[in-house]
Chain A
Amino acid sequence: MLERIVAVMVKEVRQLGRDRLTFGMIVGIPLMQMLLFGYAINFDVRDLRAAVVDEARTSLSREYIAALEASGVVRFVAPSAGVPELQRRMSAGEISIGIHIPRDFERRALDRSRPAAQLLVDGSEPMVDGVARGLTAVPLPRRDGQYASAVPLLELRTEYNPERRTAVQIVPALIGVILNMTMMIFTAAAVVRERERGNLELLITTPIRSAELMAGKLLPYVGIGLVQVTLVLTVGSLLFDVPVNGRLLDLYLAALLFIASTLTLGLVISTLARTQFQAFQLAFFIMLPSILLSGFMFPFDGMPRPAQWLAQVLPLTHFNELVRGIVLRGAPLADLSRPAMKLLVFLVLALAIATMRFRKRLD
């Protein structure tokens, strides 16, 4: 039995070594995604282009504009003559934020019942609105104690990521996204390819058992998955200074559980797909909700209920919880038993479905 599993493993590894594209993807996908997500995606938005219409033209209004610019959120481009021009420039995509300071700015500033100035925000872009809201908290420059206190009510302290760097949030979660994508696609393709090319028809007539065939095919990918985890962690630490606060062993155990789950998911896909193309389509069909709903990009708690339920079915949701807990919050695996158990349940169910559907027969 072991002999046959080893035979299949040797064959798989040989074929993998010869399939340059797949081999390149094992390393290429993690690197590409790391660079892409690590550098390009940035949730702490800065330097939004803004234009101002200053109808007041007083020293107070100028100081106020300077205070806004000092926040670093906006970068002022040429001012506009009036609000209609401001709106036109926004619709042309020239600016994301417009600030209108009315003629009676000074008087309004004293009157606490009315806002002193107006902020125009481009709502068509994600994130901008939320960031701009932060601008409304910028206090008016103090002058002889005339104005309201500038001390904010709440002090904000960001735990586990004090510098609020997006890479710190994104990179650990990328482990899951990358594993999810590669494991699922590779296994599904590896099994479906053999069906497509007729190899399976031959294999079925040999003494090999389905379980041996599956184990031999999947085990090499477990190794590949662990290599990918190591790669992401290393690059994350070198390029983006992402720390691993928890125990490495815990992280690898969690990764192993997740790898097993996604491989099995790939296996289920392979029993549904007739061609490699269908397998890719199915994998993609799972990939997209995984990225969007798993809490990788958007906070899980903010999603509507049905989306949250759907996310429970996706293994990436639970792994993201595990990986963020271990890598960033330094939590021991024992404290994360809920997501770990959910992942385990997923694995067992998927395995049952895969074995039920994978029969050593053609019909």
Chain B
Amino acid sequence: MTELTVPSQAAPPAAEGGPMVRAEDVHKSFGSLDVLKGVDLEVQAGEVCCVLGPSGSGKSTFLRCINHLEKINAGRIWVDGELVGYRERGGKLYELREKEVAAQRRSIGMVFQRFNLFPHMTALDNVMEAPLRVRREPKSEVRERALALLERVGLADKVDTYPGQLSGGQQQRVAIARALAMRPKLMLFDEPTSALDPELVGEVLDVMKDLARDGMTMIVVTHEIGFAREVGDSLVFMDGGVVVESGVPREVIANPQHERTKAFLAKVL
């Protein structure tokens, strides 16, 4: 898994004014199964990019590559001008150490389909954990910020509740607050509403809309076409490990150009 073919010698994008995320010809395979077969993507700062596609299209895998939860086999990903997971020196790639990878992840928030809250901690402790242990910020400050974040996601009254006693929608909102507590410059959402009962989807999407209005850069893997149309600045349709079509959400959804996009949208709309 350590070998990495270099497809192009393009210079990394400049941090200032450059895109927040830039992916170039990203390949990823699990054993003999090729999941990503050359994904290109650019997301500007403040942009909300929605990724659509049938299951198995590689959209979740691609998202997990952005914060190096998965090691890519070929291609490059930059976040805020910084190469993810590797250091390039003299035309040679060096794997980053575990600590350096962790440092990169601090500024990238991630929200999972299955919430993955820490069940042995209260909602407040879940939110406070990373700023306290990873950033080592003073406790009073972290506590204040965590309380404000929980209030922002509408859970001021659930501060001392354990995840097991919260509904799915509430858990996901705590998970968003937990990611935001690290003050990320980029938020990744991996099908954040797919594990929720239908009546709970709205409350999570509302929090995400609020976040988008605040100018957060977001990449959202989702099946919520309505959300993509309403909130998304760009839409990417993936199938078979490649980006099939991308553009302004309203246009892509109303007037898909590619056969596979048409077929997918016909099924979900």
- Whether A and B are associated in the same complex: the answer reads no
